[in-house]
Structure 1
Amino acid sequence: MKFYELERDPSPRYTGNLNAAHKWGLPGVERCPVCDLQPEDYTMGQYPCVDLSGLPPKDQEMLSNSWPVPREEFIRLRELVRPLAPPYAVLASGAVFGPLQGTGLGYFGQLIMQNPWSLCMRREALEQLQSAGVRGLTGCPTQVRFRTRHAPDLRDIQLEIHGRFHPDCLPPSNPPCSTCGVAMGYSVPEPYLLDASSLPQHVDIFRLADASTRIIANERMVDTVRRLELDGVVFKELEVR
């Protein structure tokens, strides 16, 4: 099975821009005074189908502010979110929830990547892919306003997170901090290799666990996108070992 990274199509015809953000998110955590690292993981995971409107207003306010909080407060907020999130959700700093809200303008393809870590689709494209049997696509309505008579009906795609880098492409590990126990991470290797044993068999598209800024699809989805002639993204084949 081949795997591909999704990238926004750079063609100049795709002028679409979303000035929008999700309603809630888990905040940062105050940094360690010794190593200056955040003592919790960070993710770019997006869970637009998770509704936090039933939480107390004060907690919703805390979850609308990304400013770092003490670790104990982060853990409290995380545990408030946990029962409302899907079991596969990575509840780390940076995870966002709720509908995408804001404004949009310009021309969008059928598949939309505002940045490398987010994926939206026109409603009809999502329905076509789901009808074709593509697995792992959960789409949630957005609250994006357009100043046009023919505004696209966009769905924000909620993805599971899977997959690891193959050890052959990674640098040696850094020693952990003696105070907080956190080790400095590494940037995404270029090029990077995927570990075949870590890749999912039950979904055709997912967010990469070792680099949550990357969205990965297998050849089953890529072939379907091409057969349906859906535009807006390009696919870069990845090496798998």
Structure 2
Amino acid sequence: MTRFFWLGEDAAAASNQGGYIDAWHKWSLPGVHCPTCSATWSDVGHAYPCVDMSHLPERALFERARPEPFSEFARLRELVRPLAPPHATLPPGTGFGPLTGKATGRFGPVAWVEQLLLLVHPDVLSRLQAEGVEGLVSCRTELTFRRKTPPTFLELQIEPRGRLHPDCVPPEVPPPCGTCGRHGFTRPEAPILDAASLPSGVDLFRIGNFATMVIGTERFMEAAQRQKLDGITFKELPARR
């Protein structure tokens, strides 16, 4: 049976390196104000850095974070949907395009942005793929470094694939809003994965109903440890049907 691990940033390794990245994706869907549940919200963790919106005539509408009425949000979402993967749900706040911003200090073979986005050197990606890690998709970044010989980082496009088990949702929490899809519950102290929802052929993915959580398979974990990828922590999570 495949084992699954919750990935995080190794704070000690990051502190030793001293690097810091202040950057985010070039475009994003706006937040939304929902007429049904009355929530004004935006999600975090849904990002498609390989989606290029530079040829979209309305791209300027995706350059500024703001809430919009649901009707306008839905219109903008349909503009970008043909560019996104067919399975993408595209909630409010979904990011697109290359990571853009500034980086200072020194970095190891991997780097995290806001403990959410995972960056790797090109040779690290090649080594992981040579180890048999499946489903890795990488995208260029547009980071500015204050160094004569700056490193090259690629962002891994880690897509939502699995879900938390229904038992992780408190019974008093209302079901997802039928209009905007918001499901307002906090991350459980002891997360459980929904085994029936977990993908095959993909060794790195996010949790669809809690996309800030990055999950790796045992194969990814073992490959990362063999390659001595300092900067990533692993916590095994149970899976239940």
With structure 2 as the length reference, what TM-score do the two structures score? 0.90
Which position in structure 1 is the counterpart of 2:68? 69
Which position in structure 2 is the counterpart of 1:17? 20
Contact 2:120/2:153 (8 A) holds in 1 = yes
Do structure 1's residue 166 and structure 2's residue 165 form an aligned pair? Answer: yes
Alignment of 1:1-241 (within 5 A): 1-11=2-12, 12-32=15-35, 35-38=37-40, 42-56=43-57, 59-175=58-174, 185-241=184-240
* Aligned CA distance change for structure 1 residues 30 and 125 (closer, same or farther; 3 Å): same
Give me the whole-angstrom Cα distance separating, in 1, the residues matched to 2:55 and 2:95: 16
How large is the RMSD of aligned CA atoms in angstroms? 2.3
By percentage of residues, which structure has more strand?
2
Q: How far has the Cα of 1:89 moved from its partner?
A: 2.4
Give me the whole-angstrom Cα distance separating, in 1, the residues matched to 2:45 and 2:28: 10
User: Deviations 1:95-152 (Å, cap 9, x if unpaired)?
Assistant: 1001111110112221211223211111111111122221121111111011112311
What secondary structure does 2:132 align onto? coil
Give me the whole-angstrom Cα distance separating, in 2, the residues matched to 1:28 and 1:235: 32
Contact 1:6/1:116 (8 A) holds in 2 = no
Query: 5+ unaligned residues in a row in structure 1: which ranges?
Result: none
Q: How far has the Cα of 1:48 moved from its partner?
A: 0.8
Contact 2:31/2:42 (8 A) holds in 1 = no
* Aligned amino acid, residue 25 of structure 1: S
The more displaced of 77-86 and 213-222 is 77-86
Contact 1:88/1:160 (8 A) holds in 2 = no
Give me the whole-angstrom Cα distance separating, in 2, the residues matched to 1:101 and 1:183: 28
Q: How far has the Cα of 1:170 moved from its partner?
A: 2.5
Contact 1:206/1:215 (8 A) holds in 2 = yes
What secondary structure does 2:102 align onto? strand
| Identical-pair percentage | 42
Give me the whole-angstrom Cα distance separating, in 2, the residues matched to 1:211 and 1:93: 14
Query: 5+ unaligned residues in a row in structure 2: which ranges?
Result: none
Give me the whole-angstrom Cα distance separating, in 2, the residues matched to 1:80 and 1:179: 21
Give me the whole-angstrom Cα distance separating, in 2, the residues matched to 1:122 and 1:7: 18
Give me the whole-angstrom Cα distance separating, in 2, the residues matched to 1:115 and 1:41: 16
Give me the whole-angstrom Cα distance separating, in 1, the residues matched to 2:110 and 2:19: 11
* Aligned amino acid, residue 123 of structure 2: E
Give me the whole-angstrom Cα distance separating, in 1, the residues matched to 2:131 and 2:182: 43
Give me the whole-angstrom Cα distance separating, in 2, the residues matched to 1:126 and 1:176: 39
Contact 1:6/1:214 (8 A) holds in 2 = yes
* Aligned CA distance change for structure 1 residues 72 and 126 (closer, same or farther; 3 Å): same
Q: How far has the Cα of 1:179 moved from its partner?
A: 10
Give me the whole-angstrom Cα distance separating, in 1, the residues matched to 2:231 and 2:178: 46
What secondary structure does 1:86 align onto? coil
* Aligned amino acid, residue 236 of structure 2: E
Contact 1:136/1:160 (8 A) holds in 2 = no
